[in-house]
Structure 1
Amino acid sequence: FSAGDEPDGSAKFFATAFRNEVLKDAVMRLLNERDGLILGVCNGFQALIKLGLVPFGEIREQEETSPTLTFNTINRHISKMIYTKVISDKSPWLAKTRPGETYVIPASHGEGRFVAPEGIIEKLFENGQVATRYADSTGRITMDSEYNVNGSFMAIEGITSPDGRCFGRMGHPERIGRGVAVNICGEQDMKIFEAGVEYFR
């Protein structure tokens, strides 16, 4: 949101900044030499996907066939609670969850629709890189716009790098705390930061 209402504004800003050779080198050393983790939520996911850190695990230029995030199919911002189903626990960020579990978390974005060529999506599923998908309250994966709020291909909500250490998603698992969404039924705590901390212990 720091880049205003320009389409891809914040993602373009972050991607440009992190393609600076000093920052790019620092990020790649974090991953390759220090066994680091990277998490991108909402605008952060947009930045990671524009950089190539998801799904490729490295900073690279985008190609015509690269996955991206674009405008919601309703052509406006959405802000609501969503159901997200864990598909793969390949990522250390999801170590406190199990595949098949469904969580209810906030979503708030105007450009969250995941799109990619069919062949790339197939590879993401084969590699276990599709981490989370939009679902209904029963955990059923769905393209229904009531639940797949942005119209993402294959109801994909979050993806990872090949080794799982970079994780990008549109939903906000960090928006949790005492007095937050107390009137919402369903499990909200994915313990995502707890899992990240324990990875280094």
Structure 2
Amino acid sequence: MHRLFAELEPSVTVTEQNLADRVRYTLRSNTFDVTELERLRREAVPSSGENAAAEDAAPQLAEQTANVDAAVNTPVVVDSNDDGTVAQELELEQMRSTLEEAIVETRSTTLENRPRHPRLALSKRNRAVVRALNPMLVTYLEASRDLCDTDSILFGAALAVCRIIGAKLSTLDALLDKVVLSQPGE
């Protein structure tokens, strides 16, 4: 989003965090109704048929693949004649399947039963995982039916990041069980 903003408004300097804060404020203050947000989202997300976007995305995807391969240390057997692209593709496919599973799981889980996400360190590895998953989300977000579906997709993406990096998740039920078991007299 930051890159797109910089392209559209090159004269305005804004940090990624500041831009994210502004978006969050706009969403929370209900400045736009659901139909207006949907129209803005469609305008902001380029269609898959645009050739220029596809040409720009190819080098970016290769760079993200290289970053993830360097940052995530998962052992993958690679043919000695190969240059490592098979390993990168396998790793990205693993990430994609984790993302799909997390989104499907989140869609079928009520808000009350969703796990709580831990705070994650801003390490290079964690950032590389997020950068690798971001382009995968475009397909899901374009097909999103409404705001609830978009919420499930984004929550599922956060869940996938936690699973990929091995962060511990806690559910509200597990926390309540601990509280009930630790109370005296029971």
Fold shared, TM-score > 0.5 on shorter chain = no
- After TM superposition, the score normalised by the length of structure 1 is 0.24
Greater share of strand: 1
- After TM superposition, the score normalised by the length of structure 2 is 0.25
